[in-house]
Amino acid sequence: MLQYIKPSLTRDSGDCVLRAGCLRNRPSHILYSMRLILPDRSERVIATGPVPLDQLLLAEGINPLGVIATRDGALIPEDAPVRSDDVIRLIRIAHGG
């Protein structure tokens, strides 16, 4: 289950002001929003539960074979689960010889 959240300030009727939306508007099993930092340094904020990295990338329209991913400076295998509170940085790789 992936849900894209616009990375902008929003207000709800309860005067809740948070970046990427209000926690009250999210499903109860999602407490945080994952930050996905793309190779061009833009960011996507995604509300998701635990999901394998390759499924997350495919759902976001990113080819898992074209990037490597890091979490806290360490490489992440493509089948490793990523959590909703992670900050994932993608680095573009070039194939060939």
Q: In whole angstroms, what is the distance from residue 30 CA to residue 45 CA?
A: 13
Which domains occur in the chain, in start order?
A: 2-92 (3.10.20.30)
At 9-66, the pLDDT tens digits run: 333 434 333 334 444 444 545 456 889 999 999 999 988 888 999 999 999 999 999 9
Residue 6 is predicted with a pLDDT of 45
